[in-house]
């Protein structure tokens, strides 16, 4: 028994097995770009533009259990072949992850963090498109878990038989 332990007073469970923790240290806009390349004439044209939305995520370790995650959302509006506007935001966050098994960190970085960042990116995209003189672009919810598992399946299918059992994936 340890010095502070007795038969009736065992050591606290927290001291034996630290609890997993996940926290947000900072949320910030890393990059924001708004382009209206055909202004002012584009405002005189009629018809709703076709909207294309692309997104990527990237996670970078900053230190022991600290990660910077960036969700980049690019919205391109085109009418015929002409770009009406383009808005791109890099919504970022610094996250602290402690006492989490190694194999569970990647899903947190690829699913949980982008889920948090998405609502902030949605607000920035909506505001930027409005300030550019267009109706707000409202991003629909994104299922980052489905995207993560789809990417894992693609990577496993592309892996050689020797690599297939590795079960690793990268966060993009």
Mean pLDDT of the region 79-108: 94
The total domain count for the chain is 1
Instruction: Tokens for 5, please give them.
Output: 């332990």
Which position has the higher pLDDT, 1 or 84? 84
List helix spans (H) across 19-143. Answer: 102-107, 113-131
Asked whether 97 and 103 are in contact (CB, 8 A), the reply is no
Q: Is residue 47 part of a domain?
A: yes
d(CA 4, CA 109): 39
Question: 2 or 126: whose pLDDT is higher?
Answer: 126
The verdict on residue 41 lying in a domain is yes
Residue 119 lies in a domain: yes
| CA angle centred on 119, ends 170 and 96, rounded to 5° | 50
pLDDT tens by residue, 27-39:
999 999 999 999 9
Dump pLDDT digits (tens) for 41-61: 999 998 899 999 999 999 999
Q: Please tell me the predicted confidence (pLDDT) of residue 16.
A: 67
What is the tens place of the pLDDT at every residue in 107-166?
999 999 999 999 999 999 999 999 999 999 999 999 999 999 888 888 888 875 554 444
Residue 168 maps to a domain:
no
Q: Is the pLDDT of residue 90 over 90?
A: yes
Is residue 110 situated within a structural domain?
yes
pLDDT at 87 over 50: yes
**Would you say residue 40 lies in a domain?**
yes
Domain CATH number, residue 58: 3.10.420.10
Which residues span the domain enclosing 41? 31-157
Domain assignment of residue 11, yes or no? no
Does residue 66 fall inside a structural domain? yes
DSSP letter at 17 equals S
Nearest CA to 167 out of 108, 106, 110, 109 is that of: 106
The pLDDT of residue 168 is above 70:
no
Regarding pTM above 0.85, the answer is no
């Amino acid at each position: 028994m340890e010095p502070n332990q007795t038969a009736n007073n065992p050591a606290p469970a927290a001291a034996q097995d630290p609890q997993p923790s996940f926290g947000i240290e900072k949320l910030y806009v890393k990059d924001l770009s708004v382009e209206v390349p055909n202004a002012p004439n584009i405002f005189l044209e009629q018809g709703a533009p076709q909207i294309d939305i692309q997104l990527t995520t990237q996670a970078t370790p900053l230190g022991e259990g600290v990660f910077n995650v960036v969700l980049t959302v690019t919205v391109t509006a085109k009418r015929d072949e002409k770009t009406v506007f383009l808005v791109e935001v890099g919504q970022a966050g610094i996250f602290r992850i402690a006492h989490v098994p190694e194999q569970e960190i990647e899903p947190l970085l690829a699913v949980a963090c982008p889920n948090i960042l998405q609502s902030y990116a949605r607000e920035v995209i909506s505001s930027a498109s409005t300030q550019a003189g267009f109706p707000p672009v409202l991003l629909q919810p994104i299922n980052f878990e489905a995207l993560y598992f789809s990417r894992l399946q693609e990577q496993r299918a592309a892996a050689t038989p020797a690599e297939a059992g590795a079960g690793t994936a990268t966060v993009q």
